[in-house]
Amino acid sequence: MPQPNVLILRAPGTNCDQETGYAFDLAGGNSSFVHINQLIESPEMVSDYQILCLPGGFSYGDDIAAGRILASQMQSRLADVLAEFHSSGKLILGICNGFQILIKSGFLLPPDDQGLPATLTWNDSGRFVDCWVNLKTDNEKCVFLKNIEKMYLPIAHAEGKFVPRNKQVLNQLKGDHQLALSYCLANGSDDDLVYPDNPNGSTANVAGVCDTTGRIFGLMPHPERFIDPTHHPRWTREGNSAAGDGLALFQNAINFFKD
């Protein structure tokens, strides 16, 4: 497949769609922007795409809770078509608000008889946090993080604290290599992290999670905001000329269909 098609899903309040589409296109994809109402009206259109991305923003103003309304729409109106999309070997990515949507819809971590195994809730500070963070990966399973060991990316959210239902869930996710992205120090250490190194108080410093197949991935940091060296906050002082850390994530998604 020479150029995988990417569906960038929009809703009222989405505001990172253009940057995310540009990142996928730069990586070799062909992005289209589709409103949630269009997809609900014609759900069969997803068959034309290989990647579905839920970008960042504040869908429906994050009323009730971040991502909850769009998550409910997808759960009630698109569950079957999205399950078929995923089972056919395709990829789903959720960035920031998209991660919140994937978690709260149950598409990323399916519910059991006790409900959802984890959620994303208010930062420990109780405030919106906007800063850059060091990250390390568990790339054993996640397609999007193939051959990536560390990243430096910006975050911007108020409800990014990852909280599993209990320690058993946390250990299972860790054992299955689903805790794919974690906050850390610049040297890779993640012991006893506090703000701003763990910007929201996430349990086990979790910044991103994949499903059991590694083909659904949600993360709070914004890879689309660091794809060019000039996006780095110190690019002039450090003479940075390499591509931004986030670009490799989008390249992995595109290359998945070329390998």
pLDDT in tens, 133-182: 999 999 999 999 999 999 999 999 999 999 999 999 999 999 999 999 99
96 included as an active-site residue: yes
222 included as an active-site residue: yes
CB-based contacts of 232, cutoff 8 Å, min separation 6 = 152, 226, 238, 240, 244
In three-state secondary structure terms, 192 is coil
Report the pLDDT averaged over residues 180-201. 96
Predicted local confidence at residue 240, as pLDDT: 83
Residue 1 predicted with pLDDT over 70 = no
Predicted local confidence at residue 241, as pLDDT: 83
Candidate list 16, 53, 142, 224, residue with the active-site label: 224
In three-state secondary structure terms, 75 is helix
CB 54 within 8 A of CB 24: no
Q: Global pTM?
A: 0.96
| 120's tokens | 């994303």
Report the pLDDT averaged over residues 47-51. 97
Candidate list 16, 53, 96, 184, residue with the active-site label: 96
Q: Residue ranges per domain, the chain?
A: 5-255
| Domain over 5-255 is classified CATH 3.30.930.10 | no
Annotate 217-242 with b (16+ C-beta within 10 A) or e (fewer): bbbbbbbbbbbbeebbeeeeeeebee
In one letter, which amino acid is 33?
Answer: F
| 17's tokens | 């769609």
pLDDT in tens, 53-106: 999 999 999 988 899 999 999 999 999 999 999 999 999 999 999 999 999 999
Residue 113 predicted with pLDDT over 70 = yes
Candidate list 16, 53, 142, 222, residue with the active-site label: 222
Measure the CA–CA gap between 240 and 9, rounded to whole angstroms. Answer: 32
Predicted local confidence at residue 239, as pLDDT: 84
Residue 2 predicted with pLDDT over 80 = no
| 101's tokens | 């949507």
* Element housing 40 (H / E): helix 36-41
CB 148 within 8 A of CB 248: yes
